[in-house]
Amino acid sequence: MPNSKKKPSFFIPLLLIFLIAIVSGLVIFISLLQAVDSSDQSTVTFLIPRNQSTQRIAERLKEEGLIRSVLAFRCVVYQKGLQSKIQAGSFKLSPSLSINELTQILSRGTDDLWITLPEGWRREEIAASLAKQELVNFDEQEFLTLTNGLEGQLFPDTHLLPKSITTQSIVNILLDTFEKKVLLNLGDDLAKSKLDLKQILTLASLVQREGVLDDEGYNDMPLVAAVLFNRLEIGMPLQVDASLQYIKGYSVTEQTWWANPTPADRKLDSVFNTYQNLGLPPSPICSPSQKAIEAVLHPQTTSALYYIHDLSNKIHTAETIEGHNANVNQYLR
């Protein structure tokens, strides 16, 4: 029989190479999970905006020298199911933290709170809302005292506030935002107006409560402003229901500061009653948005003296009381 030679086997060396590659990869990956510098205890403030992607957060952490690898960070986030649990806000982070520790901190809680103060709120609503937040140094009564006479200047916006912020600092932030977004941004238009700032804000506060601005871009505030201007010019009472709501204050039954007014409310004894008094109320009734202020500065052209909103919140105007009554019958009855 012919001599048979044993063929060399490459299986074992290939398996060893494969195993070495896996072990090396694991060692490298584990090293990427470690702290950038375990001896560096210094901290930096890392801010995560709302809706920022995990990829971008990882890139920024790498840029700040807080992690070794973007990919390693993303792997840990996905492995732990934290994609939707990383919170927006500011965090005190250190290069001495591992990726596992970082993800725990970023998903556990932030030093700050994102707080939205909607347009059209009065001071008491803002105070009550802030009192429900985790603001350990906030005092509701102190806020009302500090903001007395500042209705209309507590600009509605979304703010990132430290949980330890003081009441005075919150008031300062609201006033600073008002200065930037209204006094500076609209400074030229404010200067050209025939009304002074207080009158502009007062009229804008009425427009804010009476007008409609929705997410689809529908905005009838310039038209509402125009109708109110027309009434002022001819010495007609403004007859704004929102002024009656302001007078009535909080309704325990309806659990709102803006309860539906009744015909009897038109006889309420108050300088804010725009049914009983001519001209503007003495001061704003809420915090108007920039859109409401712009509507007062740039009202739509119309000769209408009356308006109503139908059940779908669309406005209908009329030049005469007969036309107004016809609109009421057509759209509200």
Which residue, 182, 212, 230, sits at the end of a domain?
182
Residue 205, token pair as written in the block: 């506060």
Q: Looking at the 3D structure of the chain, how many domains does it have?
A: 3
Task: Judge if 210 and 176 occupy the same domain.
Answer: no
How many C-beta atoms lie closer than 10 Å to residue 124's C-beta?
Answer: 16
pLDDT digits (tens, 9 = 90+) for 201-242: 999 999 999 999 988 889 999 999 999 999 999 999 999 999
- Asked if residue 246 is part of any domain, the answer here is yes
Task: Strands of the chain (E only): list them.
Answer: 44-48, 89-93, 112-116, 158-162, 306-309, 315-318
Task: Judge if 128 and 151 occupy the same domain.
Answer: yes
Task: Judge if 206 and 259 occupy the same domain.
Answer: yes
Task: Judge if 122 and 205 occupy the same domain.
Answer: no
- Asked if residue 145 is part of any domain, the answer here is yes
- Asked if residue 64 is part of any domain, the answer here is yes
Q: What is the mean pLDDT of the segment spanning 84-92?
A: 82
| Distance, CA of 202 to CA of 274 (rounded, Å) | 12
CATH of the domain at 83: 3.30.1490.480
Q: Is the pLDDT of residue 112 over 90?
A: no
- Asked if residue 167 is part of any domain, the answer here is yes
Mean residue pLDDT across the chain: 90
- Asked if residue 215 is part of any domain, the answer here is yes
What pLDDT score was predicted for residue 87? 80
- Asked if residue 332 is part of any domain, the answer here is no
pLDDT digits (tens, 9 = 90+) for 116-170: 999 999 999 999 999 999 899 999 999 999 999 999 999 999 988 888 899 999 9
Percent of the chain scoring above 90 in pLDDT: 68
Q: Is the pLDDT of residue 7 over 60?
A: no
- Asked if residue 169 is part of any domain, the answer here is yes
| Host domain of residue 48 | 37-110
Place of tokens 């759209």: 331
Task: Judge if 56 and 83 occupy the same domain.
Answer: yes
